[in-house]
Amino acid sequence: MARKTTRGKRGSQFVGVVGMGYVGLPLAREFCLGGARVLGFDILAERVRQLNKGVSPIKHVPHSDLRKMRATGRFRATGQMAELAKPDALIICVPTPLTKNREPDMTYIEDTSRTVARYLRKGQLVVLESTTYPGTTREVMIPLLENSGLMAGRDFYVAFSPEREDPGNKQFRTATIPKVVGGLDQASLEKALEVYGTAIQKLVPVSSCEVAEACKILENVYRCINIALVNELKMLFDRMGLDVWEVIRGASTKPFGFQPFYPGPGLGGHCIPIDPFYLTWKARQYHLSTRFIELAGEINTQMPSYVVQRLMEALSARKKVLNGAKVLVLGLAYKKDIDDVRESPSVELIEILRERGAKVDYNDPYIPHTHKQREHDLRLRSKPLSAALLRRYDAVLIATDHSVYDYRWIVRHARLVVDTRNACGGVKGGRRKVVKA
């Protein structure tokens, strides 16, 4: 049963958040605004320096919020891991990517757990928030923490509480999203609930770390499968001469038994493209094949190639070929109105287009230039939009439907628009120029 909390009880907690990225920094903000003292840990020296100057590295935590956090005197960032011994609770928010073989990459969790173990002290609470397969906290993190000589459940507390971030969502923020919490034992659960009560309005205790881990996986598998369904229907309905967005709009009028999901150029973000594969990997240890999940993953991962095929067909209809064509990609972020490029299908689209000989540029008002990622390094800068710029390209590919784009203006000045988000659905007179993909 969910618990309401006493968020805002000042001076009640001293919390360390390990990883000042898209999960850790919003969480640190809520703890700080809720009255806790917060020490933010990050291995990137430049990020630490910027945070302590009140400069936020991510769009949905504005500079003004960070300046408020600093002004309270309750927030500081550090790269000195020896300070891990100071807080009463340590919350780990590090990446959980896939290997090239699409298996879980536990490197970040393992390295962080080893580092925490060097400074762990009696009575501390350690919480993992990184999305992962059921069993990670107990099987991976705890043995590494116990290399400290301390025993989990006896000398220190352990819990798992999955992050639930949705960048760009104006209806919810970290403090207002109900938070699932599972402890190693009852004492750990109570300790974790006490700590999170400073920052989160509603807590949902569950019986174990494994249940909490499975809750997050279920949430993301649910979305992955339903998005795969509409992506597959998009390809089918296109061949049938039907508009999948109109079909979804009509189906959405049913007041029960239906929830709309929308197709796109592929899956993005750190969760939905990755997390289901964590579960399929774990399932093999139990001699089970998660065919439904794997099929959904296959459908979603082929969407960038489908979009490029539609672009090639649109160019061919205008007696042009992709090899040598100039293409402008609108939107590098994985979804609208954010600056997050993790697993963005736009990146893969650009790479496929380049491989096929196209000359590719991009525009994204929130991402002025690309940066090196684990598997990608586009080395591009955002082109400032103008009517003259749009006219220079053989095709404009809408990959992210940012709200700041004027789609009527884009259609008016572009030669050809390939729309993967139905962003131009309401533009009158654009049928001859706009191809949905």
What CATH number does residue 234 fall under? Answer: 1.10.1040.10
CATH of the domain at 188: 3.40.50.720
Same domain, 120 and 57: yes
194 with 276, same domain: the answer is no
Count: domains in the chain: 2
pLDDT in tens, 40-83: 999 999 999 999 999 999 988 999 999 999 999 999 999 999 99
pTM here is 0.90
Clarify whether residues 217 and 201 are in a common domain.
no
Region 242-261 average pLDDT: 96
| Same domain membership, residue 199 and residue 230 | no
Per-residue burial over 223-233, b = 16 or more CB atoms within 10 Å of its CB, e = otherwise:
bbbebbebbbb
Mean pLDDT of 93-120: 93
Residues 10 and 116 both lie in one domain: yes
- On whether both 199 and 71 belong to a single domain, the answer is yes
- Mean pLDDT estimate for the chain: 93
Q: Annotated catalytic sites, by residue?
A: 271
Segment 369-425, tens digit of pLDDT? 998 877 788 899 999 999 999 999 999 999 999 999 999 999 999 999 999 999 999
Q: 């309005």: which residue's tokens? A: 201
pLDDT over threshold 50, residue 293:
yes
Domain match, 76 and 43 both: yes
Whether residue 271 sits in one domain with residue 131 = no
Residues 189 and 288 in one domain: no
CA distance 274 to 96: 8
**Span 132-154, average pLDDT:** 97
Question: Can you tell me the mean pLDDT for 122-150?
Answer: 97
Q: 63 and 199, same structural domain?
A: yes
Determine if residue 257 is left, alpha or beta; phi over 0 gives left, psi from -120 to 50 gives alpha, anything else beta: left
Name the residue range of residue 261's domain.
213-301
Q: What is the pLDDT of residue 371?
A: 86
Tell which residue, 312, 332, 314, 338, has the closest CA to residue 323: 312
> Above 70 in pLDDT, residue 7?
no
